[in-house]
Structure 1
Amino acid sequence: MIKEKKAKVGFLGLMLQLYDRYPEIKPAMVEFANELIGTMSPFADVIFPGVCNTRQLVNVAIEEFEKQKVDLLMVVLLTYAPSHIALPGLCRTKLPILIYNTQQAYSITTDSPSDVTFKNHGMHGVQDLANVLLRAGCKFRILTGHYKDNKTQSELKAWCNSARVANFMRNVRIGLMGYPMEQMGDFAIDETTFLSQIGVEVQRIPMKLVAERANEAPSNEVAEQMNYDHRNFKVDPNVTEEAHSASSRLEWAIRSILKERNMHGFSAHFMAVAEDGRIETLPFLASSKLLAEGYGYGGEGDVTSSAAVVMMSELAGSANFTEMFTMDFGGNSVLMSHMGEANPNFARKDMPIRLVMDDLGIADVKYPPVLLRFSLEPGDVTLASLTTLAEGKMKLIVAEGKVLDFPPIPAISKPHFKFAPNCELGTFLTKFSMEGGSHHQALVYGSIADSVKKVADILGIDCAIVC
């Protein structure tokens, strides 16, 4: 079971200083703040420095949030508070800001007590603050709803999680083996743009280093990897010991380099591997097993799709790299596949994962690559493409749909499955391309398009949900 990661949130609770003349108000607001924090405990670790009712207290609180490197700065108007006590600090910080527009009272009736308005009037403080932030050109978001409402809680959780993922992406490192496939322009990337807009750093993984590591791979660890494959996959009779060993040594080499260099994912171009000649096979088994371990992967030197897989994995717990291959107009779906890479965590539970050997006829290497063959478990999924468009602006293109209940096609040895969008196929594909979606995508289980859009908002890039 995937352990859910918690966001780190800074709670800026505002109050009017004038209310200090009523000694019971501040303790009551602290109690309410702690109640809010309690509702967030399943998905966030919250830092609450106490009620802030002066500009100095606000500035000190924000400085502490920055020092603690929180993922999200959440502003709550515990009572009305004048906007100018918070405006300078909020405009100076680079932390993403969410104004949580909530209150203690759920409804107002003729039986409401006399102090109901006194304890529940933060909303016009929200209006004051939102106005001045807009006037100053400071970016923020607002969530309005009662804190005990399930929909509000779900939306708050999504904002916290998306902020955590956006912050995580600011320090992601992707390794590149070889070079991006020539003339395949949709994932061509300006690495300075990639670093400045998303936060992803691209590092080179030398072929010489990979080949040396593969040759030096400890025989006992390689044997354990191969034994793992025999225990967990159905090994085809045509898989030779030599080919399996070569793929396992390459798997060990890549994993060791990723760990050593603190990389979150990698991309490899099969032609670059073959042309170099020092690596004995292609890294399809490695890429699939590393996807299952939480690493990002992108085929053909596509570091943007590797980063998209990392992002989607952080959002949903596990992610797959894939590509749209063939339209199925009769089934309102797309046959999805690639060369030999897919996350075995996503495999159908009612059929074994086969370990097969297939030279694919595309690259001249010493040993035919070993890869995993399976189709995916049916369920609701979200597809995402990270790409670059005009003026170097990065963008996410997202769609929701389903993995259909579709067993492997006997004639196809690669991992494959059918994706059915939540709209008419032609509409989906036209919108996807008109928004600039590239031909490589990341896929996760669950309907999380709105969360992806929130990540994009916090990163400051565009996002289009096409279906």
Structure 2
Amino acid sequence: MFVFRKGGLIIITRDLEVWFITGSQELYGKEVLKKVEENSKKLVDALNDAISTPVKIAWKPVLKDADQIKKVIDEANSSKVCIGLIAWMHTFSPAKMWIAGLKSLEKPFLHFHTQFEQKIPWNTIDMDYMNTNQSAHGGREFGFISARLELKRKVIAGHWSDSKVISKLEDWIRAALGWNEAHTLKVARLGDNMRDVAVTEGNKVDAQIDFGYEVHGFAVGDYIEGYFKQVKRSEAEELVNRYLEEYPIKKSTVSEEVFQASIREAARIEIALRRFLEKGGFKAFTTTFQDLHGMRQLPGIAVQRLMRDGYGFGGEGDWKSAALVRIMKVMAEGIDIGTSFIEDYIYHFEPGNIKELGSHMLEVCESIADGTPSLEVHPLSIGGKEPPARLVFNAKEGPAVQACIVEFGDRFRMIVNELEVVKQHEDMPKLPVARALWVPKPDLATAATAWILAGGAHHSSMSYTVTAEQLEDLSDMFGIEIVVIDDKTDIAEFKKELRYNEVYYKLKKL
């Protein structure tokens, strides 16, 4: 029997940790070091109470010499639960002690430049207090050696109780979740890329080096023989019943017989895809309508529901998008209000009401839907297959981002555009697909110009949850270029940024 679990892919961060390391030195004596330990424990407890991420901040003993520093960083590198380190200099911690450890660091790294007390105790401050609470002094020493070693890192400065500081810390932790997911991710490609398309191609070896994820190719025929044909009729009927329970039905442009046959076929595809992905340990996948040997319809509702459950997807063999969708879903865990594969499709150039419609043939995640999608079957005017089942809906309103990763031979570039998804006031009765209507920042003309100048793809990952700052943090962890298109974007300055980046990354390769 096929056992279906809604939310079937556990996204998985319950046992993961960010390690909190505190720097000091033996010079200050036992009483000061005891106070440093007490304060750092209290700070970690307060941070764990304040943050909303599904990851625990784990306190580690105060580091006082080079051997202790190297030991804890080596342990972090080899730990499967540690996804990054937060370093705080409570006192002055001579930076030469940190060189060996920091040179071997392999995990994401945050310099937390804060101090325990919020205010200066004007009437009682003395040299003992100064020695114990010299984060301003110690943080600069630590900052120098981090810069001297050219470490990829984020610096957050401010008091640890400040909501803005907490927000930045959460952004970084969510980026670290994405980094960690990339380093365990496997992407399955059913068939090859769509023929003659450029941007969905790329060097998979370079991707594994820079991002950590693996990309594996499979013949569609092997999936058909090994999985699809093994699905029992009773299993498909069981899932069809779930469809009918979960979604309102629109039979639309096909006969009742064709409708029933299509949703049974779609159910078989979903069951087979789930089994194929679970057996191979894949959390992202691609398909293409040009390579469907043995399949009667292009996967539609199956892909939409798999994305809903946390899988990444890319159409037309776009493995970079599949990986990015999965990574962004993990970054959004616990608060995800919608993350999906999407494609720029058509513009609305009405003066004073300029917008863009994003969609795809079938494969848009129902997590971005405004309300419950309808289950529909219609002919697809591309691909030459039978009418596929799909979920049809409008996307909900709200701020969002779209992001893509492209390759230029010598490097990868992430491109991010901030959006405002708006309500769709007009019906589109002859366009039975999932769709999102948005206004890109700062405006459509500027955003489209900048996206095209940067070489942005026509596929992207769209999210109402993941932010541009989180994606900047993620790109820094990967060591890749990023450009952000937002309400401050000016094309002249954007061109300069692209030129400066070109020089920087070419020199970096020398």
TM-score category (smaller protein): over 0.9
With over 3 angstroms needed to count, the CA separation of the structure-2 counterparts of 1:233 and 1:148, relative to structure 1, is same
| 2:325 matches 1:309 | yes
| Superposition pairs of residues 304-453 of structure 1, within 5 angstroms | 304-316=320-332, 317=336, 318-330=338-350, 331-349=353-371, 352-365=372-385, 367-389=386-408, 391-406=409-424, 408-446=427-465, 448-453=467-472
Query: Does the Cα contact within 8 Å between 1:74 and 1:100 map onto a contact in 2?
Result: yes
| 2:51 matches 1:36 | no
1:381 match: secondary structure = strand
Cα offset for 1:403?
1.4
| Superposition pairs of residues 289-300 of structure 1, within 5 angstroms | 289-300=305-316
In the other structure, the counterpart of 2:272 is 253
In the other structure, the counterpart of 1:194 is 207
Cα offset for 1:338?
0.9
Query: Does the Cα contact within 8 Å between 1:339 and 1:414 map onto a contact in 2?
Result: yes
With over 3 angstroms needed to count, the CA separation of the structure-2 counterparts of 1:88 and 1:436, relative to structure 1, is same
Structure 2: distance between partners of 1:402 and 1:228: 33
1:146 match: secondary structure = coil
Cα offset for 1:447?
5.9
**Structure 2 counterpart of 1:86, which letter?**
W
1:71 match: secondary structure = strand
In the other structure, the counterpart of 1:87 is 99
Query: Does the Cα contact within 8 Å between 1:384 and 1:399 map onto a contact in 2?
Result: yes
**Structure 2 counterpart of 1:48, which letter?**
W
1:176 match: secondary structure = strand
**Structure 2 counterpart of 1:14, which letter?**
G
**Structure 2 counterpart of 1:30, which letter?**
E
**Structure 2 counterpart of 1:26, which letter?**
L
2:199 match: secondary structure = helix
Cα offset for 1:83?
0.5
Tell which deviates more after alignment, 61-70 or 220-229. 61-70
Query: Does the Cα contact within 8 Å between 2:304 and 2:363 map onto a contact in 1?
Result: yes
Structure 2: distance between partners of 1:379 and 1:76: 36
In the other structure, the counterpart of 1:15 is 24
**Structure 2 counterpart of 1:64, which letter?**
E
Structure 2: distance between partners of 1:430 and 1:126: 41
Structure 1: distance between partners of 2:212 and 2:176: 14
Per-residue Cα deviation, 1:77-117 (whole angstroms, up to 9, x for no partner): 11111111112211122122211111112122533533442
In the other structure, the counterpart of 2:235 is 221
| 2:75 matches 1:64 | yes
Q: How many residue pairs align between the two structures?
A: 458
| 2:470 matches 1:463 | no
Structure 1: distance between partners of 2:148 and 2:469: 27
Structure 1: distance between partners of 2:322 and 2:194: 14
Structure 2: distance between partners of 1:264 and 1:80: 44
Query: Does the Cα contact within 8 Å between 2:152 and 2:479 map onto a contact in 1?
Result: no
Find 1:46's aligned residue among 38, 57, 82.
57
In the other structure, the counterpart of 1:163 is 176
Per-residue Cα deviation, 1:157-180 (whole angstroms, up to 9, x for no partner): 111221121121112111111110
Identity of aligned residues (%): 23
With over 3 angstroms needed to count, the CA separation of the structure-2 counterparts of 1:420 and 1:339, relative to structure 1, is same
1:413 match: secondary structure = coil
Cα offset for 1:442?
0.7
**Structure 2 counterpart of 1:320, which letter?**
S
In the other structure, the counterpart of 2:491 is none
Tell which deviates more after alignment, 83-92 or 228-237. 228-237
Structure 2: distance between partners of 1:441 and 1:383: 6
Per-residue Cα deviation, 1:361-419 (whole angstroms, up to 9, x for no partner): 21233x32111111111111111111112x33111111111211115511211111201
**Structure 2 counterpart of 1:463, which letter?**
I
Tell which deviates more after alignment, 93-102 or 427-436. 93-102
Query: Does the Cα contact within 8 Å between 1:187 and 1:388 map onto a contact in 2?
Result: no
Per-residue Cα deviation, 1:203-250 (whole angstroms, up to 9, x for no partner): 123212322222221223211211111112222233521111111111
| Superposition pairs of residues 171-186 of structure 1, within 5 angstroms | 171-186=184-199
1:111 match: secondary structure = coil
**Structure 2 counterpart of 1:18, which letter?**
L
Structure 2: distance between partners of 1:39 and 1:386: 36
Query: Does the Cα contact within 8 Å between 2:43 and 2:116 map onto a contact in 1?
Result: no
2:301 match: secondary structure = helix
Question: What are the ranges of 5 or more consecutive residues in structure 1 without an aligned counterpart?
Answer: none
Tell which deviates more after alignment, 315-324 or 299-308. 315-324
Per-residue Cα deviation, 1:271-322 (whole angstroms, up to 9, x for no partner): 111xx2x112111121111111111111111111111111211122352111
With over 3 angstroms needed to count, the CA separation of the structure-2 counterparts of 1:209 and 1:356, relative to structure 1, is same
Tell which deviates more after alignment, 131-140 or 63-72. 131-140
Structure 1: distance between partners of 2:24 and 2:242: 59
Structure 2: distance between partners of 1:134 and 1:113: 32
Cα offset for 1:25?
1.2
Q: CA RMSD in A?
A: 1.9
Structure 2: distance between partners of 1:29 and 1:109: 18
Structure 2: distance between partners of 1:281 and 1:85: 62
**Structure 2 counterpart of 1:396, which letter?**
M
Structure 2: distance between partners of 1:39 and 1:382: 31
| TM-score after normalising by structure 2 | 0.86
| 2:118 matches 1:111 | no
Cα offset for 1:123?
2.0
2:156 match: secondary structure = strand
Structure 2: distance between partners of 1:448 and 1:74: 21
In the other structure, the counterpart of 1:235 is 249
Structure 2: distance between partners of 1:313 and 1:137: 30
Cα offset for 1:138?
3.4
Structure 2: distance between partners of 1:208 and 1:357: 25
Structure 2: distance between partners of 1:436 and 1:106: 46
Find 1:135's aligned residue among 148, 152, 158.
148
